Amino acid sequence: MEEQPFENTLTPSSETLHQTCPICSAEYNTQPKFCSNCGYPINGTFDEQDAFDLEYRSQRASLEGALIIAGKARTALFVLSGLLLIGNGVIAYVQGSAAMFIVGICISAIFVGLGFWSKKKPFTALVTALVLYATIVLADAAFDPSTLIKGLLVKIIVITYLISGIKSAKEAQHIQDELNAKNWNQ
Partner 1 sequence: MEPIEPSTNSEHIKPSPEHDEELAPIEEAMLTEVVVPIDGVTIAEDLPALLLCNNCQQPVAEADRFCSNCGTVRVIAAESYSEDNFMAEAKPVAAFYFIILLICIGVKLIDDLNQYKYMFWVEVTIAIFTFVFAGSRWHQIAPLYSLRGIKPKLMLGYSAIAVVFSLLVGWGADYINAELFKSEAVYILPYLSYPFTAVVFLFSIAVYPAIVEELGFRGYVFNVVRKLGGTNSAIFISSVTFAIMHLNIIGLIWLVPFALWLGYLRYKHETLWYGMVIHFMFNATTAVIEMIDYGVAPFDF
Cα 37 from Cα 24, distance rounded (Å): 7
40, containing H or E segment:
none
Build a one-symbol-per-residue string for 2-41: x at contacts with partner 1 by CB under 8 A, - elsewhere: ------------------------------xxxxxxxx-x
User: 1 vs 65, which CB is nearer to partner 1?
Assistant: 65
User: 68 vs 139, which CB is nearer to partner 1?
Assistant: 139
Q: Which of residues 59-98 bind partner 1 (CB under 8 A)?
A: none
Q: How far, in whole angstroms, is CA 153 from its chain's centroid? A: 25
Q: Under the criterion CB under 8 A, does residue 165 sit at the interface with partner 1?
A: no
The helix/strand/coil state of 27 is strand
Cα 31 from Cα 48, distance rounded (Å): 16
Q: Under the criterion CB under 8 A, does residue 119 sit at the interface with partner 1?
A: no
- The amino acid at residue 20 is T
User: 78 vs 128, which CB is nearer to partner 1?
Assistant: 128
Of 73-81, 88-96, 150-158, 163-171: span binding partner 1 (CB under 8 A): 163-171
Instruction: Count the neighbouring beta carbons within 10 Å of the beta carbon of residue 133.
Output: 21
Q: Under the criterion CB under 8 A, does residue 113 sit at the interface with partner 1?
A: no
Helices and strands (DSSP H and E) totals, the chain: 6, 2
Smallest distance, partner 1 to C-beta of residue 96, A: 16
Cα 136 from Cα 128, distance rounded (Å): 12
Cα 98 from Cα 92, distance rounded (Å): 7
Q: Which of 3, 47, 50, 177 binds partner 1 (CB under 8 A)?
A: 177
Which residues of this chain interact with partner 1, rule CB under 8 A? 32-39, 41, 44, 48, 99, 103, 106, 121, 123-124, 127-128, 131-132, 134-135, 138-139, 142-143, 167, 170-171, 173-174, 177-178, 181-183
